Amino acid sequence: MARALVLLVSTASALSLSSLQGVDAPKLKIGDNALGVRGLIATDTIKQGEQLIAAPRASALETTSLEAKNAPRELKRAGYCDDARWQQAGWQGRLALRLLKARKDEAELSGWFAALPASYDELPVVSWTDADLNDCAYAPLREVVSEQKKRWKKAEDALLPSSSFTQKDLRWALATVLTRSFSGPLEASSPTQRLATVGFAAWLAGGYVVGGYGPWETALQGFLAVALATLLSDYFVAKNDDLNLERHVLAPGVDFLNHAGVVEGGASYEYFGDQFAVRAHDDLRQGDEAFASYGAKSNALLLANYGFVEKDNPHDDYVFPAQYPFPPLRGARVTRTGFDETVAKAAVSYSGSQEAARENLAKACRSQAAALESAEGPLAELSREHAKVLSALAVVTEASGGGL
């Protein structure tokens, strides 16, 4: 089970999923799990693969690659930005603008907004000063937080000053986007747009026949060609990695699911339902907490992006310091399951034999694990989880027999 921070204010317990417009979660409720953390709890038996929760696309807040150049008219009319600022803000800044506009205008989401955190002080990008960043001993975490700060500064430089919101408002919105949004591939059109296209084709086909322009067979062929092309164009656009088209989404209700690294799959867009949904990874009993995956992320990434560390994270890794005493491990990224080929070969070359390399690698892992176990300060929890990774790796290395 993931250890997540409480990201909702006290009013969340009074919110019902059924009060969120269009959200479908008949077997879930908002409640506290065994750790006292707010999450979504099963009210009935849920089978593996069954839908946990779904939010219609119409009620979600979204920005896509296709709209990266031109700001939505409603945002420009309201004075939130112009095209140039919209382009410079990056996708997090653009989604933050949509969030701020919705907070002001969309009354049907008032319950969801009331349940969102008032602040995000647990996030390094929010609370860390430049001195804190420089003092961070773990380089990968330092680099992620530094890059996030740069992205936020770019968004702030693009969007501030503004007569529509303050710097405090924008930072709150950026933090909400960082911690609660998800991303995925973008289809070329929505079901509404597809229906409009197919409906127009049907109207033309009918007019073709009624107007005496040709036989009904020709009209039918034309209509079927348009309908099939509409569906196939979306399919091939979504499958074409070269286009790199993405959507970034805040889906009210779906964002209440906590993370667990053992879960496969998170929120995804369901094409024909025109909704964002999460399905059960395992069978759930009444009272069990439902989880989603925020992605196969290390604890450094989870801490940087969400403000928590997951206990026994199956996707965790550790990067040795650049000046580590054993040269083959300097700057090396390792997991609990083994070393990559480059590290193994370097260790054998440096140690003189596979047996000596295995002994040196296991010794280095145990030594570094012991140092991390005794770490104190704000990263102590992260260090202890890294110690587990290295201790497990030492065991695997020692048991590797004739090879690494």
pLDDT tens for 58-109 read 999 999 998 999 999 999 999 999 999 999 999 999 999 999 999 999 998 9
Q: How confident is the model at residue 194 (pLDDT cuts 50, 70, 90)?
A: low
Query: Mean of the per-residue pLDDT values for the chain?
Result: 88
Amino acid at 53: I
How far apart are the C-alpha atoms of 249 and 266, rounded to whole Å? 12
Task: Confirm if 255 and 278 have CB atoms less than 8 A apart.
Answer: no
Average pLDDT over every residue of 369-378: 94
pLDDT digit string, tens, across residues 15-52 = 889 888 899 999 999 999 888 889 999 999 999 999 99
- What integer pLDDT is reported at residue 15 of this predicted model? 80
Which of 4 and 281 is assigned the larger pLDDT? 281
* pLDDT tops 80 at residue 228: no
Angle between helices 139-159 and 90-105 (to 10 degrees): 60
In this prediction, residue 217 carries a pLDDT of 73
Residue 40: beta bridge partners?
Answer: 30, 290
Instruction: Give the pLDDT confidence score for residue 226 in this predicted structure.
Output: 60
Residue 269 phi/psi, 5-degree rounding, is -85, 130
Count of C-beta atoms within a 10 Å radius of residue 136: 17
The CA-atom distances, in angstroms, between 137 and each of 143, 319, 326, 332, 335 are: 11, 11, 18, 15, 19
Angle of helix 167-180 relative to helix 299-306, nearest 10 degrees, comes to 150
Q: What is the pLDDT of residue 333?
A: 97
Classify 362 as helix, strand or coil: helix
What domains, with CATH codes, occur in the chain? 10-183+248-305 (3.90.1410.10), 191-243 (no CATH), 317-398 (no CATH)
Residue 10: pLDDT band (50, 70, 90) is very low
**pLDDT value at position 18?**
85
Asked whether residue 389 carries a pLDDT value surpassing 80, the answer given is: yes
How far apart CA 278 and CA 257 sit, in angstroms, is 9
* Pairing outcome for strands 289-292 and 258-259: parallel
Three-state DSSP state, 229: helix
pLDDT at 3 over 50: no
Side chain identity at 150, as an amino acid letter?
K
Token pair in block for residue 250: 């805040």
Tokens of 298: 């290390």
- Average of pLDDT values for 336-352? 95
pLDDT at 6: 37
The Cα 189–Cα 374 span in angstroms is: 54
Q: Say what the pLDDT of residue 197 is.
A: 63
Please check the confidence at residue 4 and state whether its pLDDT lies above 50.
Answer: no
Indicate if the pLDDT at residue 195 is higher than 90.
Answer: no
Alpha carbons 57 and 230: distance in angstroms, whole number: 19
- Specify the DSSP element, H or E, that contains 334: strand 333-334
Tell me which DSSP letter residue 116 carries.
Answer: S
Taking the CB of residue 268, how many other CB atoms lie within 10 A of it?
Answer: 15
User: So what's the pLDDT on residue 101?
Assistant: 97
Percentage of residues in the chain with pLDDT exceeding 70? Answer: 84
Confidence check: pLDDT of 7 > 50:
no
Q: Is 269 helix (H, G, I), strand (E, B) or coil?
A: strand
∠ CA 301-141-335 to the nearest 5 degrees?
A: 65
Residues 103-139: pLDDT tens digits?
Answer: 999 998 999 999 999 999 999 999 999 999 999 999 9
CA 177 to chain centre: 10
Neighbours of 222 (CB within 10 A): 15
Task: Confirm whether pTM is higher than 0.75.
Answer: yes
Place of tokens 């969801």: 112
Predicted local distance difference test score (pLDDT) of residue 35:
83
| Kind and range of the H or E run holding 126 | helix 124-127
Average of pLDDT values for 214-232? Answer: 67
